[in-house]
Amino acid sequence: MRILLAGGAGYIGSHTAVELILAGHDVVIVDNYSNSSPEAVERIEEVSGRSVVAYEADVRDHDAVCSIMREYPVDCVVHFAGLKAVGESVRKPVEYYRNNIDTTLTLLECMRERGVHNIVFSSSATVYGEENPYPYVETMPRGRCSNPYGWTKFMMEQILEDAARADAELSVVLLRYFNPIGAHPSGRMGEDPQGIPNNLMPYVAQVAVGRRDHLTIFGNDYPTPDGTCRRDYIHVMDLAAGHVKAVEYTAAHKGTEIFNLGTGTPCSVLEIVRAFEENSGVPVKYEFGPRRDGDLAEFWADADKARDELGWTAARTLSDMCRDSWNWQRQNPKGYES
């Protein structure tokens, strides 16, 4: 299959590109590099041993996306394009709604014009909201989201489901991620946020490598065993493997299906810090700060459906996640700029 990766130079997109290529698929990347780097495309080629077609374009640009699909007809779209930081979304809700919803509408319009019927969407566990109990199961209703980022995922899922109801040929797979961390085991690819990291692991790694003075842990008074938030952390390579399964699933499927991609085991912020120290041999300086708006105390996945229907399970451990994150950051102290 030939797959268009919208936002394919980003953290998850780039690792998925490698896994798709190694599984025998062709990829076309479209990315405006607003939170990624063209160097990531070169690393994809290096790691996979294959050349990659890549376009610098905004996925909200209807003419650009349709033109790319005309030049390189595709069988499936994987939609990674979007702003993704919970805290930033609270500060910049309008930018998040405009960017994330527009990318989805543009992709659906261009798919319809070019006769493309398969799409895999990079969704999030945040759509379960504040009221559903843990672990989260796909049959639960979408809940009251705790931040604008979550609401954009909620709305994009609804748009995609409505599109599938209106078009009997459309195959939609919604992948609800939990918390991706880690890096390619080669150390040549990893998470490289622009500016100050919004996610935990790149911040920890940047403190360890000397780019940041210390980590601020937002809140130590949550109702959890050590007072810090607990999340279901999943290795990005396991997540990428899940995308390969989802892409192949769309070829024989119509309508909408939802799959959680997580380990089913929550870890706290302090547990992540300690595991990173153990696997890197480097101390991580941290201090506690106030709770951050939009954060839930804890949540984790029930990933049985992905196991039963996609044949996918998370295989890598927390130690693997920390070791690979450090291997990437140690080799690339300034990220792709290195």
Residues annotated as catalytic are 149
Q: Which residues pair with 124 in a beta bridge?
A: 177
Cis upstream peptide for 135 (omega within 30°): yes
Q: Alpha-carbon distance 227 to 217, whole Å? A: 11
DSSP-based helix, strand, coil % in the chain, nearest 5? 45, 20, 40
Strand segments, DSSP code E, in 178-265 are 179-181, 215-218, 230-235, 255-261
Q: Alpha-carbon distance 294 to 86, whole Å? A: 7
The long-range contacts involving 90-93, CB below 8 angstroms and separated by at least 24 positions, are: 90/147, 90/148, 90/293, 90/294, 93/148
Burial of 320 (0-12, 13-18, 19+ CB in 10 A): middle
Phi, psi of 291 (to 5 degrees): -55, 150
| Under 8 Å between Cβ of 255 and 172 | yes
